[in-house]
Chain A
């Protein structure tokens, strides 16, 4: 018995070692005989099919290179990327955002693409892009990404709810706002809110504790940019993030203009027009909207396609005009290359393809986002129109002077996002008042730059 046991043990041990070695070998990185597998990360699952199409087309043109696309949700995307960079195994190419990329530059983890462009002058036609997008990723003659897409923010309103509340479209297209009384924006929100007894928010007897349909859903998980709501309103109130953009080093998060904006947004919940922050569920704002429990919310142009199945039920409007005019953040994403990647030439081919009219028109035709390539962008607007979705509101800001502003571009993006978001969410929760929270946050943010 003991002999058999010993033999069995030895057998198991050997099997284990064999298993371990073979399993370990297969985690190499996909480099067998010339074929290369690139890792590409993005956060928006809605864009996956379009980019998978690009990847398949790319492999047809470059049979030795396969692209493996991984998608991680926005909430985890940057922390995952950071962990993988720490581990030295970041993806070869990833989708990059202006607020986060400078940190990669400072840590020397992102590849400068200018040398590649210099060697290959016809690779990229910068004139084909929507103006301004490509410049975001240039620092001192180095270029850290090729343009991917651009977006602005608008409002989406439930058409039926607006009709029931007696709000006409003209009002919705010309909302005004100010931090003191909320302007016509707050009036509309109040009208749209309906409590369980059927009373609207502007009628006497409205019960803020028993609301059936909320007038507005604010976005509170908005980092240090507030791209989805508060940044836009604050800017239209006269707020500027920092001394200069890009690469500011002294920030103004304690500015009273931001404080009153945050206070106004938080007050919506107190009045019953918006849900309480501590009662959120895992459903996104857009799901809640589509489910009928709310009537209006702010929306990025990158989410408009979500409504394609019920396109005729929604009204699209531009953000309200604040004391300093109507403003929306304009964001431009890019594709970045990992400085520690093992297949940089192949990664360059992929980035080039991503930025090319071929891939961008494939993506544009689906209408899911506005690619940086101007033609593809128009194609996207047209594709949306065919589905019954009016995208003109997102383009309207360009018509006005200073109608758009760049989200802040600076170092320490990840840490700043946590600090400012924590502060603003504590206001939404009611555990802190806006001035104190934002002053503390501002001090911490500025301390990062010392």
Chain B
């Protein structure tokens, strides 16, 4: 237990001052606070150290990987690993720098990931917003029942629909195309639909009703009135969808094997498999991993505050 501040002595002939709220521990030193800070600092270091190590290894030349394994900074830092994974070097140079000579082009894979995430993030949010609004505000026959059925899809884990969806995309000859990759997630996800509907259920109706009185049609109300009001949560859900799509591995692995549509996650897996038979190409792998972190790190730097402050249960994915 920590020391509490003492109240000033009350003088009997004066009216008693309003009781000061006792701040237990004040702002000064205490064991509890110190321990707390230590925990936070440990958490911070623990979060950042692996990334530091990743970058440090990416800057290590392949020949030094054993010698530098325990050092905190490479003896001969170099950016050749980044050059090789971005596809900027020839096959001989790549092999000389420790790779297996296979052609890799992470610049392309980064672009593919961005396209994949952006498409899904944008369209899924849009369509689920439309759907959510309809289920929240519009009146039509079978509304509740239909919604219940759509939400029942929540109970089906990814892998169960993944197998038949794979065969569907294959049979439609959409393998190794962007359309094939984004198809299942482009239109809806039960989660996004559910939460957007929740949101729309909870916004006050008066503005819409006023617009209705003014004679605006439902569609116009949605575009002009409701959507702008919902900017905040829409962007939040959009961001979370984008992050989820950025991390997606199994589906792009099955559908997008071809280099032209390969995303960064799949490319990392493939790169690991293409390691020289003697040992994994650690420096190249770490360089490629760094590349996969940079875009989301940028996202965090520029939109971090928004993401962090609007993370609450309406945004779970």
**Residues of chain A having any CB pair with chain B under 8 Å:** 1-2, 5-6, 9, 12-13, 16, 19-21, 23-24, 26-27, 43-46, 48-49, 52, 69-76, 80, 83-84, 87-89, 282-284, 286-287, 291, 306
Contact A282 B176 (CB under 8 A): no
- Known contacts: A2-B228, A16-B122, A284-B279. The answer to whether A71 contacts B274 by CB under 8 A is yes
Task: Establish whether residues A6 and B277, one from each chain, have CB atoms under 8 Å apart when the complex forms.
Answer: no
Expressed in whole angstroms, the Cα–Cα distance for A74 and B66 within the complex equals 24
Out of B66, B101, B258, B270, which one reaches A27, CB within 8 Å? B258
CB pair B178–A45 under 8 Å, yes or no, is no
Chain B: CB-nearest residue to A3 = B224
Q: B202 in the interface, Cβ–Cβ < 8 Å? A: no
Pair B175/A88 contact, Cβ less than 8 Å = yes
Q: Does B119 contact A (CB under 8 A)?
A: yes
Residues of chain B with a CB closer than 8 A to A87's CB = 166, 170, 175, 254-255, 257
Beyond known contacts A48-B102, A83-B254, A291-B66: 20 more, CB 8 A cutoff: A2-B228, A16-B115, A16-B119, A20-B115, A20-B119, A21-B179, A26-B260, A27-B177, A45-B100, A45-B275, A49-B101, A70-B102, A73-B277, A87-B170, A282-B279, A283-B279, A284-B277, A284-B279, A286-B278, A306-B278
> Within residues 223 to 273 of chain B, which ones have a CB less than 8 A from any CB in chain A?
223-224, 228, 254-255, 257-258, 260-261, 270, 273
The list of the 9 closest CB pairs from A to B, nearest first, reads: A24-B177, A45-B100, A76-B273, A27-B260, A20-B178, A24-B178, A27-B176, A23-B178, A45-B276
| From B91, B175, B261, contact of A23 by CB (8 A) | B261
Chain B 89-132: CB-based contact to A (< 8 A → 1; otherwise 0): 00100010000111000000000100100110011001000000
Of chain A, the residue at the smallest CB distance from B275 is A73
A24-B179 in contact given A49-B101, A80-B273, A89-B257 (Cβ < 8 Å): yes
Which residues of B sit under 8 angstroms from A1, Cβ to Cβ? 228
In the complex, the chain B residue whose C-beta lies closest to that of A74 is: B277
CB contacts (< 8 Å) of A72 on chain B: these are: 270, 273-274
* Complex contacts, B74 vs chain A, CB 8 Å: none
- Is B182 located at the chain interface by the 8 A CB criterion? yes
Known: A16-B122, A89-B175. A84 touches B257 (CB 8 A): yes
Cross-chain pairs A/B with CB under 8 angstroms, 29 sampled: A2-B224, A13-B123, A16-B123, A20-B178, A21-B179, A23-B112, A24-B177, A24-B180, A27-B177, A43-B277, A45-B100, A45-B101, A45-B274, A49-B95, A69-B102, A70-B102, A71-B102, A71-B274, A73-B277, A83-B254, A83-B257, A87-B166, A89-B257, A89-B258, A282-B279, A282-B280, A283-B278, A284-B277, A306-B278
B10 to chain A, nearest CB (A): 58
Indicate the size class of the contact surface on chain B: 35 or more
Q: How far is the CB of B119 from chain A (nearest CB, A)?
A: 5
Contacting residue for A287 out of B118, B179, B274, B278, CB 8 A: B278
Alpha-carbon separation in the docked complex, A71 to B260 (Å): 17
Complex interface: chain A residues within 8 A of B270 (CB): 72
CB distance from A429 to the nearest CB of B (A): 22
**Chain B, 173-188, contact with A by CB distance < 8 Å: what is the 0/1 string?**
0011111101000000
Chain A residue with the shortest CB-CB distance to B167: A86
- A287 near B122 with CB under 8 A, answer no
B273 touching A12, Cβ below 8 Å: no
Q: Is the CB of B112 within 8 A of A20?
A: no
User: CA–CA, A31 to B255, complex, Å?
Assistant: 20
Known contacts: A46-B277, A76-B273, A283-B278. The answer to whether A23 contacts B260 by CB under 8 A is yes
Min C-beta distance of B265 to chain A, whole Å: 16
Which residues 40-66 in B have Cβ within 8 Å of A in the complex? 66
Residue of A nearest to B228 (CB): A2
Given the complex, which residues of A lie within 8 Å of B112, measured CB to CB? 23
Choice from A27, A44, A88 contacting B261 with Cβ under 8 Å: A27
CA distance A287 to B180 in the complex (A): 42
Least CB separation from B115: chain A residue: A19
A48 and chain B: residue at smallest CB distance: B101
Q: How far is the CA of A291 from the CA of B278 in the complex (A)?
A: 12
- In the assembled complex, the Cα of A76 lies from the Cα of B122 at a distance in Å of 35
List of A residues within 8 angstroms of B276 by Cβ: 45-46
**Contact in complex: A24, B261 (CB < 8 Å):** yes
Q: Which residues of A contact B254 (CB under 8 A)?
A: 83, 87
Chain B residues lying within 8 Å of A24, measured Cβ to Cβ, are 177-180, 261
Which partner residue on chain B sits nearest A73 by CB separation? B273
C-alpha gap A235/B91 in the complex (Å): 42
B145 to chain A, nearest CB (A): 31
Residue contact B279 to A89, C-beta cutoff 8 Å = no
| B91 partner residues in chain A, CB cutoff 8 A | 49, 52
The chain A residue sitting closest to B262, CB to CB, is: A27
* A130-B182 Cα distance, complex, nearest whole Å: 51
* B95 and chain A: residue at smallest CB distance: A49
Contacts of A52 in B (CB 8 A): 91, 101
A96 to chain B, nearest CB (A): 18
Write out the residue numbers on chain A whose beta carbons fall within 8 Å of the beta carbon of B119: 16, 19-20
Give Cα distance in the complex from A58 to B223, angstroms. 60
Residue on A nearest B121 in the bound complex, by CB = A16
Contacts of B178 in A (CB 8 A): 19-21, 23-24, 27
Which chain B residue has the least Cβ–Cβ distance from A46? B277
Question: Which chain A residues border B126 with CB–CB below 8 Å?
Answer: 9, 13
B63 to chain A, nearest CB (A): 13
Contact B102 A45 (CB under 8 A): yes
| Shortest distance between the CB of A382 and any CB in chain B (Å) | 24
Residue of B nearest to A75 (CB): B273
User: With A and B bound together, what is the CA distance between A21 and B177 in angstroms?
Assistant: 9
Which residues of chain B are near A5, meaning CB under 8 Å? 228
Question: Cβ of B258 and Cβ of A12 under 8 Å apart?
Answer: no
Q: Which of B123, B170, B179, B278 has the most CB of A within 10 A?
A: B278
B 17-58 contacts with A by CB, 8 A: none
Contacts of A70 in B (CB 8 A): 102, 274
Q: How far is the CA of A146 from the CA of B142 in the complex (A)?
A: 64
B278 touches A88 (CB 8 A): no
The answer to whether A71 and B257 have CB atoms under 8 Å apart is no
Contacts of B182 in A (CB 8 A): 20
- Residues of A with C-beta under 8 A to B95: 49
A43 / chain B contacts, CB cutoff of 8 Å:
277
List of B residues within 8 angstroms of A306 by Cβ:
278
Q: Which residues of B contact A16 (CB under 8 A)?
A: 115, 118-119, 122-123
Closest to A88 in B: B170
Complex: chain A residue closest to B260, CB-CB: A27
- In the complex, how many angstroms separate the beta carbon of B36 from the nearest chain A beta carbon? 38
Contacts of A26 in B (CB 8 A): 260
